[in-house]
A and B are shown apart, each in its own frame.
Chain A
Amino acid sequence: MISKPEKTNIFLKRISDEMYKIGIGSLPIVAITALFIGAVTTVQTAYQLVSGLISKSVIGTIVSDSTMLELGPTITCLVLSGKVGAHIASEIGNMRISEQIDALDVMGINAPAYLALPKIIAGIIMIPLLNFIAITLSIYGGYMAGELSGILTHQEFVSGARETFKGFTLVFSTIKAFTFAFIITSVSSYQGYYTSGGALGVGESSTRAVVFSSVLVLFFDYLLAEILL
Chain B
Amino acid sequence: MIELKQVNKSFEGRQVLHDINAVFYSGKNNLIIGASGGGKSVMMKCMVGLERPDTGMIEFDGRNLLALEDQALRDVRREIGMLFQGTALFDSLTVEQNVAFPLEMFSKMNASERRDRVNFCLKRVNLENVNNKYPSEISGGMKKRVGIARAIALDIKYLFCDEPNSGLDPITSRLIDELINEITHEYGITNVINSHDMKTVFDIGDHIIFLYKGQKWWEGNREDLKHAQTQIKELDQFIKASYFE
Show the binding face of A for B, using Cβ within 8 Å: 6-7, 10, 94-95, 98-100, 102-103, 105-109
Q: How far is the CA of A94 from the CA of B89 in the complex (A)?
A: 12
B90 touches A100 (CB 8 A): yes
B74 touches A106 (CB 8 A): no
Q: Which residues of B contact A99 (CB under 8 A)?
A: 84-86, 88
- Which B residues between 92 and 113 are near A, CB-CB below 8 angstroms? 102, 104-106
| B96 CB to nearest A CB, Å | 16
A98 touches B91 (CB 8 A): yes
A105 touches B50 (CB 8 A): yes
Q: How far is the CA of A106 from the CA of B48 in the complex (A)?
A: 6
| B88 CB to nearest A CB, Å | 4
Mask, B21-64, CB within 8 Å of A = 1, is 00000000000000000000000000011100000000000000
B88 touches A10 (CB 8 A): no
12 contacts between A and B (CB under 8 A): A7-B104, A94-B91, A98-B86, A99-B84, A99-B86, A102-B88, A103-B82, A106-B49, A107-B102, A108-B73, A108-B77, A109-B105
A106 touches B50 (CB 8 A): yes
Q: Which residues of B contact A6 (CB under 8 A)?
A: 105-106
Q: How far is the CA of A94 from the CA of B86 in the complex (A)?
A: 13
Known: A99-B85, A99-B86, A100-B91. A105 touches B49 (CB 8 A): yes
Main DSSP-derived SS at the B contact region: mixed
B105 touches A107 (CB 8 A): yes
Give the residue name and chain of the A residue nearest to B84 (CB): A99
Give the residue name and chain of the B residue nearest to A103 (CB): B88
B80 CB–A CB distance under 8 Å: yes
Known: A7-B104, A10-B105, A98-B91. A108 touches B84 (CB 8 A): no
Show the binding face of B for A, using Cβ within 8 Å: 48-50, 73-78, 80, 82, 84-86, 88-91, 102, 104-106, 160
Q: How far is the CA of A202 from the CA of B217 in the complex (A)?
A: 38
| B15 CB to nearest A CB, Å | 22
Give the residue name and chain of the A residue nearest to B83 (CB): A103
Give the residue name and chain of the A residue nearest to B73 (CB): A108
A7-B104, A100-B89, A100-B91 given; 16 more Cβ-contact pairs under 8 Å: A6-B105, A6-B106, A7-B105, A94-B91, A98-B88, A98-B91, A99-B85, A100-B88, A102-B88, A103-B84, A103-B90, A106-B82, A106-B160, A107-B78, A107-B106, A108-B77
Give the residue name and chain of the A residue nearest to B76 (CB): A108
Q: How far is the CA of A95 from the CA of B93 in the complex (A)?
A: 12
Indicate which residue in B77, B85, B91, B105 contacts A106 across the interface (CB closer than 8 Å).
B77
Q: How far is the CA of A107 from the CA of B83 in the complex (A)?
A: 11
| B48 CB to nearest A CB, Å | 5
Q: How far is the CA of A10 from the CA of B102 in the complex (A)?
A: 12
A108 touches B88 (CB 8 A): no
| B167 CB to nearest A CB, Å | 13
| A202 CB to nearest B CB, Å | 13
Q: Which residues of B contact A109 (CB under 8 A)?
A: 105
Q: Which residues of B contact A107 (CB under 8 A)?
A: 77-78, 80, 102, 105-106
B84 touches A102 (CB 8 A): yes
Q: How far is the CA of A67 from the CA of B41 in the complex (A)?
A: 55
Q: How far is the CA of A103 from the CA of B162 in the complex (A)?
A: 12
Give the residue name and chain of the B residue nearest to A114 (CB): B105
Q: How far is the CA of A109 from the CA of B103 in the complex (A)?
A: 12
Question: Which 4 A-B residue pairs are closest in the complex by CB-CB distance?
Answer: A108-B77, A99-B88, A103-B88, A108-B74
Q: How far is the CA of A100 from the CA of B76 in the complex (A)?
A: 20
Q: Which of B76, B89, B91, B105 has the most CB of A within 10 A?
A: B105
B91 touches A10 (CB 8 A): no
Q: Which residues of A contact B85 (CB under 8 A)?
A: 99
Q: Which residues of B contact A100 (CB under 8 A)?
A: 88-91
Indicate which residue in B78, B84, B104 contacts A10 across the interface (CB closer than 8 Å).
B104
Give the residue name and chain of the A residue nearest to B154 (CB): A107
| A17 CB to nearest B CB, Å | 9
Q: How far is the CA of A94 from the CA of B91 in the complex (A)?
A: 10
Q: Which residues of A contact B78 (CB under 8 A)?
A: 107-108
| A15 CB to nearest B CB, Å | 15
Q: How far is the CA of A10 from the CA of B77 in the complex (A)?
A: 20
Give the residue name and chain of the B residue nearest to A7 (CB): B105
